[in-house]
Chains A and B, each alone.
Chain A
Amino acid sequence: MSEDLGQRHSAFRFHGTWQEFAGIAFPNLLLSIVTLGIYRFWATTREREYLWGKTDFIDERLEWTGRGMELFIGFIMVFFLIGLPIIVIQLISQGLIFRGETIIAAVVTLIMFLLLFYLTGVAYFRALRYRLSRTYWRGIRGGSNDPGFQYGLSYMWKSFAGWTPIFLMVPWSMISLWNERWNAMSFGPHRFEAAAEWKPLMKRYLLFYLVPFLVFVGAIIFGIAVAASGGQPDALGSSGMAIGGILLIVAILAMYIILPLAALAFYSKYFRLAVGGLRLHNLEFEFRARAADWILFFLANMAIIICTLGIGYIFMPYRNWKFFIDHMEAYGEINVDELTQSETIVSKHGEGLLDAFDVGAI
């Protein structure tokens, strides 16, 4: 405990280097290729062991105790419980379409979609639970006794409720689901308390929501302005066409550049609010990345991937974790005597569901 408190900026600190991570990521890539991808579960595990092990919380490093085999079993379970049934259902519905039973095929497909949607919600929940139950700090872990089936239902109805009023309630559904998820989790003997608010998120959301309209209106105004100053259209027929073309390109570029930026601005606010509303006993959390940080982070990721012709992709877990930890902050105090072992159950399989649906846990 010889930490220099004066120099410490945050309760969370990350000590990893990308060079060290490369020593893990490249063999992982090699082994994943030669095993036709099966090694990737062990690859993920090794990467997490490194990232967690290089992360300080106050005065002790985190520990990832998940195993590749757990993730593999999760994947196999998903393959047999969900993947195969889906293939069969798809075959059946194709046969139905072939026979002209379009309505039945549509109903079957709709039911399949709803089921998948439900399972996606369950997957989010269980992935978070799995990750907490495999994360140790000073020999203590987190977890939850809730299997997440109820959460799957919440995920369904809250998402639908968020979309129904022309997608205007999405911020509410996101925050509400975050709170529900985290309120079911605990670390050691303490339950997380998540009370993030959704209303402060609306302004950013509307910004993102309105971008397409703003670009459209802007393009029209610009067009009118050009037309007004451009003189006779019949004399400038071809240049008028050119201006129209340029306008179209500008509008498309604006959509492709401004829309992601607005999305990042929204997400940064969401994450700040969500983490900010989280408590664990006497600890409070904060996520300090602002919109500009997210945008820089995102652009740097793009640059890395493009400049390395895609190989830089293997560094993304490192970049994500570093970004996450660098901006995490915790306040308050922990009584290590009180922080006793978690009584929650430990499931033997990993994030199979989540892995299958390709979503992140937090």
Chain B
Amino acid sequence: MTTLTFFNAWHYDGKSAVRRKVEVQTIGAQFFLLETERRHGPFAFADVEYVAHKGDADVYGLTGQDGWRLMLSGPVPAELTAMLPARRRYGGWVDRLGLGKATIAFTLASAAAVAVVLFSPQWLAPLIPSSVDKKLGDALVGDFGGRFCSTPAGDAALKKLVVSLDTSPRDLQVEVAKIDMINAVALPGGKVILFDGLVKQARSPDEVAGVLAHEIGHVREKHVMQALLRQMGLAVVLGGVDGNSGALVNNMLAMSYSRESEAEADAHSMKALGNAAISPVATASFFERLSELDGSARGGDESQGITGYMSSHPLSRERKKAFEKSIVKGKNYKPALTSAEWTELKTMCTQDRKAKSGFGFDFE
């Protein structure tokens, strides 16, 4: 069967830039393009692909023929249109579903992806073997550039604190680092580092015990690994978002989670203090002092994957109240360390002359 149709059809053969006015001659699943003195083809309808809508014309290409174009405008007969591929608007999936449905589907898929990334670390983190955790911690910390302080009496005092606060202290590695910052960090592999600045400013061993128990809480609740996994997941999921907004969303999500884990670590700390019969009063007063610092614009700069103490975000004032509430009236609290032990711990970094001090560079 042969049909000749009359509407505007232009053709480029892709070999030269000559524009040809043609007529489309359809023969079954094939067609020819007829010029006044030439016939192009046959071409198979199956090879025709949609290229673009240009001006008032639909532009078609041919698979495997670079630059081959057929441009149709005007009253294209329905029989011919039926043989040609449909217009493309948004791209494959969206065109098939329609904009509305596609939007809903994408929203759901995105929400699911984010949910997986946010919630899976909670049950994925415990599945990571402790050997991996340990290796990661060792790789990250090493000997901390020789900044760990050590004296026999100071080590003993620190050990006493750890033993009183944790039931299996053997898989913890608690160190005091010669860095003059009021901070403490929990790192992968059960590593907890108290900065000397924090120990020095503390007014009692109970205060250090509260902070230490908090960091041990991060270790026991697997917060560090969770945060690492979450950051990695978010980096992948939000990788497609433009730099700035992606980082913003990422930080907001990470922040809200760090707040949650800070609260969990606080709860752990209060429980551990209670079990060790150490009064939470000192820790509460520590937060009192911190809350004064809060007012003086503490930045929330948190290095990724390291749960910092100062950068933790439940407001210090609220945390102070929580610790005050956990005081049990009439309970027989005893000091976390004897005054001799406390002095040893406090002066450990001063005594240890071998330990290097500071970072030797600007720490972010």
Nearest opposing residue in chain B for A68, CB measure: B91
Q: Which residue of the partner chain, among B17, B91, B141, contacts A188 with CB atoms under 8 Å?
A: B17
Segment at the interface with B among A135-143, A152-160, A258-266, A268-276: A135-143
Given the known interface contacts A35-B106, A141-B67, the answer about A340 and B240 at a Cβ–Cβ threshold of 8 Å is no
Chain A residues near B91 (CB-CB < 8 A): 42, 45-46, 68
CA separation between A336 and B140, bound complex, in Å?
65
A332 at interface, CB cutoff 8 A: no
Contacts of B361 in A (CB 8 A): 97, 102
From B15, B90, B142, B241, contact of A27 by CB (8 A): B90
Q: Which of B19, B107, B143 contacts A336 (CB 8 A)?
A: B19
Contacts A36-B113, A64-B52, A139-B12 hold; do A31 and B146 have CB atoms under 8 A apart?
Answer: no
Asked if B77 is at the interface of the complex by the 8 Å CB criterion, the answer is: no
Interface flags, B218-247, vs A, CB<8A=1, else 0: 000000000000000001011111110010
Query: In the complex the two chains form, what is the Cα distance from A337 to B15 in whole Å?
Result: 9
- Look across to chain B and name the residue whose beta carbon is closest to the beta carbon of A79: B239
Query: Contacts A37-B242, A341-B16 hold; do A139 and B142 have CB atoms under 8 A apart?
Result: no
CA–CA, A53 and B53, complex, Å? 7
**19 further contact pairs, Cβ within 8 A, besides A31-B90, A87-B235, A140-B12:** A31-B94, A34-B106, A34-B107, A42-B90, A42-B91, A42-B94, A61-B54, A63-B52, A63-B69, A65-B61, A97-B359, A98-B144, A99-B141, A102-B361, A138-B12, A139-B13, A141-B67, A340-B16, A342-B66
**A contact residues, total (Cβ < 8 Å):** 52
A98 near B19: Cβ-Cβ < 8 Å: no
- Please determine whether A136 and B142 come into contact, CB atoms closer than 8 angstroms: no
| Residues in chain B within 8 A of chain A (CB atoms) | 12-19, 51-55, 59, 61, 66-69, 89-91, 94, 99, 102-103, 106-107, 109-110, 113-114, 139-147, 235, 237-243, 246, 356, 359-361
A66-117 CB contacts (< 8 Å) to partner B: 68, 75, 79, 83, 87, 94-95, 97-102
Contacting B241 at CB < 8 Å: which of A36, A65, A87? Answer: A36
Contact of B240 among A37, A46, A334 (CB under 8 A): A37
B residues less than 8 Å from A101 (CB atoms): 145
A34–B143 alpha-carbon span in the complex (Å): 46
Interface 0/1 of A4-38, CB less than 8 Å to B: 00000000000100000000000100110011111
Residue from B51, B144, B240 in contact with A35 in the complex, judged by beta carbons closer than 8 Å: B240
- Min C-beta distance of B239 to chain A, whole Å: 6
Does A327 belong to the interface (CB within 8 Å)? Answer: no
Which residues of the partner chain A approach B141 to less than 8 Å between Cβ atoms? 98-99
Q: Which of B69, B143, B360 contacts A139 (CB 8 A)?
A: B69
* Contact digits for A318-358, partner B, Cβ 8 Å, 1 yes 0 no: 00000000000000001011111110001000000000001
Q: Are A138 and B140 in contact (CB under 8 A)?
A: no
Q: Given A63-B52, A139-B68, do A38 and B18 touch, yes or no (CB 8 Å)?
A: no
Interface check A193, CB cutoff 8 A: no
Partner of B17, one of A36, A65, A336, A358: A336
Across the interface, do B103 and A37 meet the contact criterion of CB distance under 8 Å?
Answer: no
Interface on A for B, CB 8 Å cutoff?
1, 15, 27, 30-31, 34-40, 42, 45-46, 49, 53, 60-61, 63-65, 68, 75, 79, 83, 87, 94-95, 97-102, 136-141, 188, 334, 336-342, 346, 358
Give the CA-CA distance A100 to B360 in the complex, in Å. 8
Q: Contact at B99–A337, with CB atoms within 8 Å?
A: no
Closest to B69 in A: A139
CB–CB A341/B14 < 8 A: yes
* Cβ-neighbour of B243 out of A31, A42, A49, A358 (below 8 A): A358
Question: A336 to B235, alpha carbons, bound, how many Å?
Answer: 50
